[in-house]
Structure 1
Amino acid sequence: MSIFSLIQKHKSLTSNFFHLSFIRLLNISTKFFLVAYLVRVLGEKTFGLLTWSEAILQYFIVFINFGFNLYGARYIVNYKNDRNMLNKAISTIYIIKGLAFLLSLVLLGALFYFNSFNANYKILYVLLIATLGDLLFPIWYFQGTEKMKLLSKPVLIAKLLLICVTFFLIGSSEDVLVYTFLFAISQILMGTLGFITLKKDIGFIFKIPEKSFILEVTKTAKYYLLGNISMLIFNALTIFIIGYYLTMEKVTGFDVCLKIVFICILPFEILQAVVLPIITKSQSKTELKKYFILSLVLGFTLYCILFFLGDNLLLLFGGENILKYSDTLKKMSLLLLTVPATFILGQCGFVAFGNDKRYNFSLTVVAIIYFIIVIGLILSKTLRFDTIVWLRVFSDYLLFGILVFQAFKTKIFYIKW
């Protein structure tokens, strides 16, 4: 088969991979442009405070998305040829996410009884308002219909606006609240443009679904919500703990290292999002195994590159003050050996083959183990920055081992004797 024929055969996959890559690269490059600028302008402490606040809001974002950023695509794949059911499914997703947003407003208000949260209530509430963008942004719809190209323009407009206005208006640590307002505006703009694009694409008409259908969708989605909350423990909770028990400066160092590692993981995150609808339809275990092995090989290659070039990236994105976290970056680069394969096997393999409960259960088990160890470190007063970094790495290795075991147990993988 010629290369041209191969490209034509997988035209939809190639197109969606390209456009999802563009969207994710735009998101991550925006973050890096802003990190490189804001760390220098706001200073380590204020930037750490902003990152700490964003880590808290990640739980609200996950709650508002309610697992639909992954699971919603399956509804679209199943109903995309039935306009009535498609409208009902989309309406249901928006209703559930809207209710979750309203409840989040109440929950955040309750947190202000604690002094640590009350001192930063303005930043936290503005960031919560920004989640309206996450509520509206229908990436799950365009993943399911394999039309990621249509989302490129809304994301490009919002991100370029945020970068330009930030460089123009933010000049000191006093401007941190101004930046959060700019971020909120850009997120809401992106979500609104994404929703308008969805409406134009299918002529979306809001339909009030039956109560039984809402309950059915909620019941299934809650497992993805639980899994996503568990995943947050590894990053968002780690950042929270560092900021609460250690220093905001260390939050900045950890966050910059984490972003550098995750830009290396980005291609695998894109790949699993694009391949999910394909494997869901084909149910090909052979294809899944190929992607899994590829992720292991490329992950090792990226680990070697980052191990030797990490200091250059720290200098580029954080400045000379962040170079002191060189050893931290080397430790965290070990994540590249497992996380890419975990993305493919967990978020693509288990979900595509209907074993999503096992996947989310595995996430929850590891999250509970992580949480128990952290509580033990706090109570024994042995919590140190290096310890929490090593624990972060250990958690992903444990998750990887459990998922591989589950893959063989459920016959997703098997050994030929």
Structure 2
Amino acid sequence: MSILQISQVLFPFATYPYLIRVLGKETFGLLTYSTAIIAYLIMFINFGFNISEIKEISIHRDDREKVSEIVSSVIAIRLLLLIVSILILLICLSTVSILKTHKLLYFSYLGVMINAAIDPSFYFQGIERMKFTTIISVLSSLLFLILIFLFVKNEGHVNLVPLFTSFGAFTGSAFGLYTAFKNDNLKFYFPHTKQIKAHIVESLPFFSSRLSVLLMEKTNTVLLGSFIGYTQVSYYDIAAKLVAALKVPFGIINQVIFPNVSKTKNIVLVKKALVILIIFYTFGYFSLYLLAPFLVVILGGHNVLPSTKVVYILGITLIIDLISTFMGAPMLLATGHKREYNMSIIIGSIIYIVYVFLLYLFKSIGLYQLTIATVCSGFFILLFRSYYCRIYKLI
């Protein structure tokens, strides 16, 4: 396992048990809720560039001028979207009562939003130089870790968490930008209106799919915080973090092989990786089923044991999302079937929205019901992608 993989798995769990104990379930739930709200704005700032432009950079990696144009355009458009996002945040903080109470907390996320605009990770992924992505990730995580343990001592310090997240991430991105423009000799220039329009049009389908993904990933947190309470948010977040950590290895493998398959169309490589990972994750799920109570107590203490049932339900997505992920970008997207890739996610989000609407209609919104909604939506994405992978003889 590489340094990047180790940092992505271990660093979040180094601070998680500390924060939930120091802040308490309620305040920790508030922190998670606010992070979910800001995630919508960050998604808007990224606008799907993390997928579309990685592929473009991979294809044109030997053309410095073209790569400079892509990187410059992405950062310029992101900065424009950042301004719009800040205006949206200000309006929400002035009009939405549940957000008004904690204005300072939401203002503390401004640095995270700025970092989303300038983050150059997509460039390094596109040219397959993961060394710099690793450095950015490890620097950010280390700074955040140190600052959290030094300064966050009670629930009154909750506003410091997003500030420290911003500082760590911003430092890493600044180093990445310096490397890209100084060492790699990229040139920054303001794109023409025609170029901006072209990049937005190219990324729009991916923005739609990312919005759909975000609906399924973060809306449970928002609904629980809005209708049930911040404590329930803590229960859900512990389970979601635990399951998400177990998805990191196959997510990294997907990121590594996607640029290569986009260029070589080597679907056999994807199939081999998928078979090995299915065996590994099938064993992993049964292990998780046995170890879940122990892991939950380590993360949050005995008073968050209701998270265990959520782990059991969400754990099913380890296999579902594994297969779905590898049928997505490395198969459908890399072979030019962008529409099918994006439609699968949109359909999954529609299934999720319908399910949640029915829960709301029958006044049945709850922790376990929303967790099941996530599993169902993921299953429909898998079915859709399987159908088209068979049609195009990819599996």
TM-score (norm 1): 0.91
Count of residues in Structure 1 that have an aligned counterpart in Structure 2:
394
Whether 1:237 aligns to 2:229 is: no
Write the letter of the residue equivalent to 1:150: F
Whether 1:390 aligns to 2:369 is: no
Match runs of 1:181-260 below 5 Å? 181-260=163-242
Match of 1:72 among 47, 53, 61: 53
State how far apart, in whole Å, the 1-side matches of 2:357 and 2:110 are: 27
Which residue does 1:105 correspond to in 2? 86
Match of 1:277 among 213, 235, 259: 259
Whether 1:133 aligns to 2:115 is: yes
State how far apart, in whole Å, the 2-side matches of 1:42 and 1:407 are: 46
In the TM superposition, what is the alpha-carbon distance from 1:106 to its structure 2 partner? 1.1
Match runs of 1:15-414 below 5 Å? 21-112=2-93, 113-413=95-395
In the TM superposition, what is the alpha-carbon distance from 1:201 to its structure 2 partner? 3.3
In the TM superposition, what is the alpha-carbon distance from 1:88 to its structure 2 partner? 0.9
State how far apart, in whole Å, the 1-side matches of 2:116 and 2:47 are: 11
State how far apart, in whole Å, the 2-side matches of 1:152 and 1:277 are: 17
Q: Secondary structure at the match of 1:338?
A: helix
The answer to whether the Cα contact below 8 Å between 1:303 and 1:336 also exists between their aligned partners in 2 is yes
State how far apart, in whole Å, the 1-side matches of 2:232 and 2:345 are: 26
State how far apart, in whole Å, the 1-side matches of 2:215 and 2:175 are: 31
In the TM superposition, what is the alpha-carbon distance from 1:182 to its structure 2 partner? 1.7
Q: Deviations over 1:144-173 (max 9, x none)?
A: 111111233333222212111211111111
TM-score (norm 2): 0.96
In the TM superposition, what is the alpha-carbon distance from 1:24 to its structure 2 partner? 4.5
In the TM superposition, what is the alpha-carbon distance from 1:39 to its structure 2 partner? 0.3
The answer to whether the Cα contact below 8 Å between 1:231 and 1:367 also exists between their aligned partners in 2 is yes
The answer to whether the Cα contact below 8 Å between 1:52 and 1:239 also exists between their aligned partners in 2 is yes
Task: Name whichever of 46-55 and 313-322 sits farther off.
Answer: 313-322
**Structure 2, unaligned runs of 5 or more:** none
Q: Deviations over 1:86-139 (max 9, x none)?
A: 111111111111111111011112212110122222212221331222222211
Task: Name whichever of 343-352 and 84-93 sits farther off.
Answer: 343-352
The answer to whether the Cα contact below 8 Å between 1:132 and 1:187 also exists between their aligned partners in 2 is no
In the TM superposition, what is the alpha-carbon distance from 1:200 to its structure 2 partner? 2.8
Task: Name whichever of 269-278 and 177-186 sits farther off.
Answer: 177-186
State how far apart, in whole Å, the 2-side matches of 1:59 and 1:328 are: 24
**Identical amino acids, percent of aligned pairs:** 24
The answer to whether the Cα contact below 8 Å between 1:132 and 1:191 also exists between their aligned partners in 2 is no
State how far apart, in whole Å, the 2-side matches of 1:157 and 1:290 are: 33
State how far apart, in whole Å, the 2-side matches of 1:151 and 1:370 are: 33
In the TM superposition, what is the alpha-carbon distance from 1:199 to its structure 2 partner? 1.7
- Structure 1 residues 200 and 366, CA gap change in structure 2 (3 angstroms): same
Q: Deviations over 1:239-274 (max 9, x none)?
A: 101111111111111111111111111111000100
Q: Deviations over 1:261-297 (max 9, x none)?
A: 1111111100010000111111122222223333322
The answer to whether the Cα contact below 8 Å between 2:48 and 2:210 also exists between their aligned partners in 1 is yes
State how far apart, in whole Å, the 1-side matches of 2:388 and 2:127 are: 30
The answer to whether the Cα contact below 8 Å between 2:316 and 2:375 also exists between their aligned partners in 1 is yes
The answer to whether the Cα contact below 8 Å between 1:22 and 1:152 also exists between their aligned partners in 2 is yes
In the TM superposition, what is the alpha-carbon distance from 1:345 to its structure 2 partner? 1.3
Q: Secondary structure at the match of 1:209?
A: coil
Write the letter of the residue equivalent to 1:309: L
State how far apart, in whole Å, the 2-side matches of 1:105 and 1:228 are: 20
Write the letter of the residue equivalent to 2:56: Y
State how far apart, in whole Å, the 2-side matches of 1:296 and 1:110 are: 46
In the TM superposition, what is the alpha-carbon distance from 1:28 to its structure 2 partner? 3.8
Q: Deviations over 1:22-58 (max 9, x none)?
A: 3343134222112111000000000000000001111
State how far apart, in whole Å, the 1-side matches of 2:190 and 2:143 are: 35
The answer to whether the Cα contact below 8 Å between 1:314 and 1:322 also exists between their aligned partners in 2 is yes
